[in-house]
């Protein structure tokens, strides 16, 4: 895909996600931070479907959306995205800057909007801070997005199963926040929209500023026939003296 096409696509998707995020934020805050349509019913469902084993599994999954793991995975994404040592270092640094910058912006929005979490009695895990947008959801979605971008750059015709698995992990972390009762579903949707909007902006800027080599697919390996000298009709015989 050409540089201009990447920038245009990423920018369009990012703008759309930011617009949807803004509409959701206005509705969430405009209602004094109370639950939106579907929030309460999903929380009620989760309260009645929490066997011990599934709750423990959900806490394990949700723990992957915070701490050092997302930063390690983003560093891995940078290593995958580059083909030379310099490219890998640059890509890893840019990925970490994207994740860190997104975290800072998300935290600022969360403090400005100060939406309350669901009732504490419904929690099945520890949580802190305000609720909108969900921090674990945003972190996991940003990390998954950067990994998917890196895999797409280096294996545009393959790796579909791996990209799908990464995307499912990013979505599942957000869903566990609702299942464990520490976020409304609209908080999680806001986290997904925020991540898509921020990734779209970062990818648009990167497409404009980075060398074209970063966006170029890896060269296809040459076949033995392509390596053979072009000598039709001579059967490979040497030229007579």
Query: Is 157 domain-assigned?
Result: yes
**CA torsion angle 52 58 63 65 (round to 10):** -170
| Residue range of the domain that includes 118 | 3-30+53-214
Query: Is 169 domain-assigned?
Result: yes
Chain Cα centroid distance, residue 177: 17
Quick one: pLDDT at residue 30?
Answer: 78
By C-alpha distance, which of 83, 96, 220, 76 is closest to 162? 76
Q: Assess whether pLDDT exceeds 60 at residue 190.
A: yes
- In angstroms, the Cα distances linking 1 to 7, 29, 211 are 10, 40, 14
In terms of C-beta density within 10 A (0-12 exposed, 13-18 middle, 19 or more buried), how is residue 145 classed? buried
Quick one: pLDDT at residue 80?
Answer: 87
CATH code of the domain containing 109: 1.20.144
Contact at 8 Å (CB) between 193 and 17? yes
Quick one: pLDDT at residue 241?
Answer: 45
Query: Is 196 domain-assigned?
Result: yes
* DSSP classification of residue 225: H
Quick one: pLDDT at residue 175?
Answer: 96
Quick one: pLDDT at residue 158?
Answer: 66
Condensed to tens digits (0 to 9), the pLDDT of residues 142-155 reads 999 999 999 888 77
pTM as predicted: 0.85
Q: Tokens 């009709």 map to which residue?
A: 233
Query: Is 230 domain-assigned?
Result: no
Query: Is 233 domain-assigned?
Result: no
Name the domain count of the chain. 1
Condensed to tens digits (0 to 9), the pLDDT of residues 12-45 reads 999 999 999 999 999 988 767 788 888 999 999 9
Query: Is 179 domain-assigned?
Result: yes
Q: Which pair of structure tokens corresponds to residue 168? A: 């499912």
The upper half-sphere exposure of residue 187, i.e. CA atoms within 13 Å in the direction of its Cβ, equals 36
Average pLDDT of the chain is 86
Distance CA 66, CA 141 (A): 11
Quick one: pLDDT at residue 224?
Answer: 54
Query: Is 126 domain-assigned?
Result: yes
Query: Is 73 domain-assigned?
Result: yes
Give the mean model confidence (pLDDT) for residues 198-216: 77
Quick one: pLDDT at residue 232?
Answer: 52
Other residues' Cβ atoms within 10 Å of the Cβ of residue 176 = 29
| Res. 177 pLDDT band, cuts 50 70 90 | very high
């Amino acid at each position: 895909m050409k540089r201009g096409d990447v920038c245009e696509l990423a920018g369009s998707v990012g703008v759309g996600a930011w617009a949807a995020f803004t509409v959701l934020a206005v509705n969430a805050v405009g209602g004094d931070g109370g639950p939106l349509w579907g929030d309460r019913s999903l929380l009620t469902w989760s309260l009645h479907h929490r066997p011990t084993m599934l709750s423990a599994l959900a806490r394990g999954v949700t723990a992957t959306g915070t701490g050092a793991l997302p930063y390690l995975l983003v560093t891995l994404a940078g290593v995958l995205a580059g083909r030379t040592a310099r490219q890998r270092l640059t890509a890893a640094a840019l990925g970490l800057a994207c994740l860190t910058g997104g975290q800072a912006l998300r935290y600022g929005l969360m403090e400005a909007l100060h939406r309350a979490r669901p009732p504490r009695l419904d929690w099945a895990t520890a949580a802190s801070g305000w609720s909108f947008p969900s921090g674990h959801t945003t972190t996991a979605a940003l990390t998954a997005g950067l990994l998917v971008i890196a895999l797409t750059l280096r294996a545009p015709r393959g790796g579909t199963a791996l990209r799908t698995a990464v995307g499912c992990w990013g979505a599942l972390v957000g869903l566990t926040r609702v299942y464990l009762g520490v976020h409304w579903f609209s908080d999680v949707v806001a986290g997904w929209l925020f991540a898509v909007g921020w990734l779209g902006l970062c990818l648009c800027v990167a497409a404009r500023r980075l060398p074209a080599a970063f966006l170029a697919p890896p060269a296809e390996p040459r076949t033995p026939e392509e390596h053979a000298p072009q000598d039709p009709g001579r059967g490979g015989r040497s030229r007579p003296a």
